[in-house]
Chain A
Amino acid sequence: MWMDLAIKAGLAVVMMLIVINIAGIHSWVERKQSAVIQDRWGANRAGFTLNSPLWRWLNPLLRPIIYLGLFQPIADLLKLVAKENWSPVGGMKWLHAVAPFLYLLFAFAGFAAIPFGDTLHVAGRDIALQVASLNVGFVFIFAMAGLGVYGIVLSGVSSNNNYAFLGAVRGVSQMISYEVTLGATVIGIVMVYGSLDMQEIVRGQGALLWGWLPKWGVFVQPLGCILFFTAALAETKRIPFDLPEGESEIIGYFTEYSGTKFGMFLLADFVETVMVAALTTTLFFGGWQFPYLQASGFVFPWGAEVAVGHYAVVAIQVVSFLVKVIAFCWLLMTIRWTLPRFRYDQLMDLGWKRMLPVSLANIALTGLVILLIEAL
């Protein structure tokens, strides 16, 4: 029993490290990718040189790091940590302090149900590479995403600032509007794979359509995939859906935050971005599945087979998952640096008048097709 607990704790630490590292590097990616997109250099100054004769030899090693701007996130972090821990006069001090923690907590919690590999057999044990093997994993993730709203509400309400309050109101209405679509689009996936368990959904995507096409969500639910991705983008509250935040122009719910607490909101946004990437990967792009890779090795549609050892298979799966997640993080970042912000009425129109009806039609269509396939 203790061993199981230790394994679960280990898995949780691994997942946490993966997520926090990908999210942390986002602040660097954000600067550099936007720079490359806009034909700029981006941050390449922050850093230091060592003058003592003892350490001088390290300078040539430091130079490429400085040149790549990798010290910039560290400088950002130091700046945030060194700031005064301030809470607004007349605000609710305790709630004000707790809000960013709640927000970040719920952003992280969803990852528990994301599988990052198939079952690993080691020393007579079966370890499912998933922190919490929930049979309602998908519901759990959406519950956690929904609870994230409390971070926004609390930060807005406790700040004693009307701008922050309005930002929180915008944030809540946006989250709720798009969660409806988000849930509705995933129904299609649940209908196709017949399970709410994330691990089962991913296993289902290992099958082949017509003997050659991997049965990934994107191929059986193309419309659902686009809708899901858009709605999930809105859930991250980044441009083009950044009306709740709008740091520089319309002022959002974390106006009254500074220092580390502000940094937590930023980090939570990046964690949510990773979450969207992981969810899209898991639901629509085969999760840890690698095309034609079965538990025994590669089985190609033209009949060839290449045997691969168990550990190698698991390694390929985990790497495949990570590569997909990182690719989606890249795509999300590109979108963030491409599209302009929506107007609020456009946002609501898009959510309620366009995406929701289409996603409901998608459910009906999916049901019809499944019925027809079963009848034939």
Chain B
Amino acid sequence: MEAVARKPGTVTPAGGVKRGPLTFWERVYVVEAARGVWITTVHFFRNMGYHFLHLVGLAKGRQAAVTVQYPEERRYLPPRSRTRHRIVRRDDGSPRCVGCMMCETICPARCIYIVAEEDPDPNIEKRPKRFDIDLGMCVFCGFCVEACPEDAIRMDTQMVDLAAYSRRGMILTLDQLLAGEPAGPVESINALGERVHG
């Protein structure tokens, strides 16, 4: 029953914590066990009390549980978090990607597959014909975003619930990538950069 010391203890020069010897009542253990049970009991009745108050519409400001009810409630994701990719469009709606293959080249998971074709606009050389990302292999390193010279690929959709019934279903095609939207008011790092650098 050595492990019940609750005294703060002194920090040794080596960084470890040296605890003093246990008192008699700590060694008896029953008292310490009762104290532990008291803590859990207080939690139990406080939370149950709030649950009942919530049921009748009271004390809404106090939390009875810290659980986030995931699909309905979502936690705030920091703006820099790397989430599902999307391809940004130009003002005319065409993908901003110029098919330079930078992202495909840098991708450590080799999960980007691009087929480029000639762009009808004479000012732009190429455009992607196919642009697939296999999210089943992607490691969400964000290198593709950093490598892109056109700022065409971003990971700011805030979509994290990526699941499919087959491996094939994990492959995102160009259409799906273009359909992604930046998540609401949350600014991505790219958007921040856009604002700073104009």
Cβ contacts under 8 Å, A101 to chain B: none
Q: What's the least CB distance linking B133 to chain A, in Å? A: 31
Question: What count of chain A residues pass the 8 Å CB interface test?
Answer: 20
Report if B110 contacts A (CB, 8 A). no
Interface assignment of A38: CB less than 8 Å from any CB of chain B: yes
Residues of B within 8 A of A41 (CB): 65, 67, 69
Q: Report how many residues on chain B are interfacial, defined by Cβ distance under 8 Å.
A: 21
Q: Is the CB of B40 within 8 A of A39?
A: no
A331-357 contact mask (Cβ, 8 Å, vs B): 1 or 0: 100110111100000100110000000
By secondary structure, the B interface counts as helix
CB distance A40 to B67 under 8 Å? yes
Q: Is the CB of B36 within 8 A of A338?
A: yes
The reply to whether A39 and B66 contact each other, CB–CB distance below 8 Å, is yes
B80 contacts the other chain (Cβ, under 8 Å)?
no
Q: Which residues of B contact A346 (CB under 8 A)?
A: 1
CB interface residues, B 11-56, toward A, < 8 Å:
29-30, 33, 36-37, 39-41, 43-44, 47-48, 51
Is B3 an interface residue, CB under 8 A from the partner?
yes
* Interface presence of A327 (CB below 8 A): no
Given known A40-B65, A40-B67, contact A338–B44 (CB-CB < 8 A):
no
Of listed A41, A226, A340, A346, residue having the most chain B CB within 10 A: A41
B33 contacts A339, C-beta separation under 8 Å: yes
A45: nearest chain-B partner, CB-CB? B69
**In whole angstroms, what is the CA distance A335 to B30 when docked?**
12
Bound complex: CA A37 to CA B30 (Å) = 20
Chain B residues in 8 Å Cβ range of A39: 43, 47, 63-67
| 0/1 string, B56-70, CB within 8 A of A gives 1 | 000000011111010
Q: Which residues of B contact A (CB under 8 A)?
A: 1, 3, 29-30, 33, 36-37, 39-41, 43-44, 47-48, 51, 63-67, 69
Which residues of A does B touch, CB under 8 Å? 33, 35-41, 226, 230, 331, 334-335, 337-340, 346, 349-350
**Nearest 5 pairs of A and B residues by beta carbon:** A41-B67, A338-B40, A338-B36, A36-B47, A41-B65
